[in-house]
Amino acid sequence: MQFVNLHTHFYTNSDSILEIVNQYPNEFSEEIPLYSIGIHPWHINEERLNDDLKIIKEKLSLNECIALGECGLDKRIDKIYSAQTDVFESQLDLLHEISKPVILHCVASFDEVISCKKNSGLTSPFIIHGFSKNVQVARQLLNQDFYLSFGKYLLRNPELGEVFQQIPNEKIFLETDTIAESLEEVYTFAAKCKNISIEEMKEIVWKNYQTVFK
């Protein structure tokens, strides 16, 4: 059974890892066999927005593209928030034609992302990548049927381990994003938090992958 890396910016081509590599429409590599694609709120460019959306729509129709994202909302960057919301909603609109999961970048915007999910009317799974908040925020998201993916902050913040321990196994993903640590290190730490073996942790995430990505 492979490790599943829910979100990474580095393609390693490892036989032991099923990795969902983040791609951007303006920096696309045909060599990556499994990926998500989206407009990150940091990288919104109004001049090429229509072209970016067109590329995303084309890629979403392909089997190699298994998710929209990362996309979302971020209140801590110098981008007009209403513009971020418009771009996020425009991407979600693409999923009315082809249903695929959404990998989300969400900073200080959980209420807004929940609202966008509700307003979209989509039944696609929504996954918050790089979750780093407290158990109250986690419960708020879980109550709205979000999945939570853990990585960098799980390794960096001891208190997050206690939050992770309380997340239902059927709502968990693990990732590396851009960290230097290996995916196995993330799984090892996650397994320790849950007081289970690394093989059991792999089994949990693999089952969730099969459920979410069909």
Tens of pLDDT, residue by residue over 14-61, are 999 999 999 999 999 999 999 999 999 999 999 999 999 999 999 999
Residue numbers of the domain that contains 126: 3-213
Can you give the CATH number for the domain in which 36 is found?
Answer: 3.20.20.140
Number of domains in the chain: 1
What is this structure's pTM? 0.97
Residue 166, pLDDT > 90, answer: yes
The residues pairing with 214 across neighbouring beta strands, listed in sequence order, are none
Residue 214, pLDDT > 90, answer: no
Which sign does the torsion angle of CA 8, 9, 15, 18 carry?
A: positive
